[in-house]
């Protein structure tokens, strides 16, 4: 397949079955979370299983609720992360930082950029050739300064801080339930093209949590989303999501294929 996949690999329960499924899906990149603080050695070992089996990994540097960590704790975490991803071509730093659930506090674009910038310096010091993927921002249109900051507003703040100078790829998150809010995505893409011309734009999460819509949604985005195509689109997610979101999964709890899997392996 030309797509990439967000995997929740740290939650996989049957590695053998999951590896077999991935070999058939043949994703360009496998996106993997690393939300434990301190960084869990089991996560490092699981990433090595993927890379050891020939898969290209997009590891996410982002302890869940990162804003609850002091800068000293955050930098300690990033240092352990940086040495564990040697050989990776890309890394994504933080995830959905315009939401309280991932920031760990009411989102703050300037403070999030401070955490981001510190992480990039450490990662690039250990992996000078690695490409930096920005946090995927949710396209949900809520901006109450408590739970979310709207993605265009957040992006604008980061560009004022010089984000385009240290970011190689700019990603967004866009789901079937947000399709009516596609104007938000279009606004962000226009902004990125204006402020960071020539930089790739990605969709690091897209999918459907409704089994009746999964295949239909996949067919809709297969040809691209606003011109974003191929390996820069990450289908969400391989496995690991529990209730109420388990219907997003390509594989079920036993790592056996859900119907969407068979659609995705069609050539």
* Domain annotation for the chain: domains and CATH numbers: 4-264 (3.20.20.80)
Which whole number is the average pLDDT over 227-236? 89
What pLDDT, on the 0 to 100 scale, is given for residue 245?
73
For residue 146, pLDDT over 70 is answered with no
Share of residues in the chain with pLDDT > 70 (%): 94
In a 3-state reduction of DSSP, which class is residue 102?
helix
How far apart CA 112 and CA 91 sit, in angstroms, is 17
What pLDDT, on the 0 to 100 scale, is given for residue 18?
96
Report if pTM > 0.75.
Answer: yes
Model confidence at 261, pLDDT cuts 50, 70, 90, reads very high
For residue 1, pLDDT over 60 is answered with no
The residue with tokens 């079955």 is 17
Mean pLDDT estimate for the chain: 91
What pLDDT, on the 0 to 100 scale, is given for residue 244?
65
For residue 141, pLDDT over 70 is answered with no
What pLDDT, on the 0 to 100 scale, is given for residue 220?
86
List b or e across 216-235, with b for residues whose CB sees 16 or more CB atoms inside 10 angstroms: ebbeebbeebeebeebbbbb
Give, in degrees to the nearest 5, the angle at Cα 266 between 57 and 31. 15
* Higher per-residue pLDDT: 56 or 267: 56
Contacts of 217 (CB under 8 A, 6+ apart): 176, 206, 207, 208
Strands (E) located in the chain:
4-6, 30-32, 57-61, 90-93, 131-133, 137-138, 170-173, 201-206, 233-236
Q: pLDDT digits over 12-24, tens only? A: 889 999 999 999 9
Question: Picking from 18-32, 45-59, 185-199, 233-247, which range would have the lowest pLDDT averaged per residue?
Answer: 233-247
Model confidence at 240, pLDDT cuts 50, 70, 90, reads confident
């Amino acid at each position: 397949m030309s797509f990439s996949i967000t995997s929740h690999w740290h939650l996989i329960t049957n590695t053998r079955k999951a590896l077999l499924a991935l070999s058939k899906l043949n994703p360009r990149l496998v996106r993997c979370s690393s939300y434990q603080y301190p960084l869990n050695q089991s996560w490092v070992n699981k990433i090595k299983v993927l890379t050891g089996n020939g898969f290209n990994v997009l590891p996410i540097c982002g302890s869940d609720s990162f804003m609850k960590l002091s800068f000293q704790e955050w930098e300690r975490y990033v240092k352990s992360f940086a040495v564990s991803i040697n050989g990776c071509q890309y890394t994504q730093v933080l995830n959905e930082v315009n939401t309280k659930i991932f920031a760990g506090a009411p989102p703050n674009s300037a403070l999030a950029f401070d955490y981001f910038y510190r992480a990039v310096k450490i990662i690039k010091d250990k992996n000078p050739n690695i490409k930096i993927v920005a946090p995927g921002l949710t396209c949900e249109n809520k901006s109450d300064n408590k739970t979310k900051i709207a993605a265009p507003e957040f992006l604008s703040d980061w560009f004022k801080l010089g984000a385009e100078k240290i970011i190689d790829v700019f990603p967004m998150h866009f789901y079937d339930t947000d399709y009516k809010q596609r104007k938000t995505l279009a606004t962000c893409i226009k902004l990125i093209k204006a402020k960071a011309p020539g930089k790739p734009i990605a969709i690091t999460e897209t999918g459907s949590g409704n089994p009746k819509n999964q295949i239909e949604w996949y067919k809709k985005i297969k040809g691209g989303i606003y011109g974003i195509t191929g390996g820069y689109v990450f289908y969400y997610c391989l496995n690991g999501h529990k209730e109420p979101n388990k219907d997003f999964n390509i594989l079920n709890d036993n790592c056996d294929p859900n119907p969407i899997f068979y659609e995705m392996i069609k050539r």
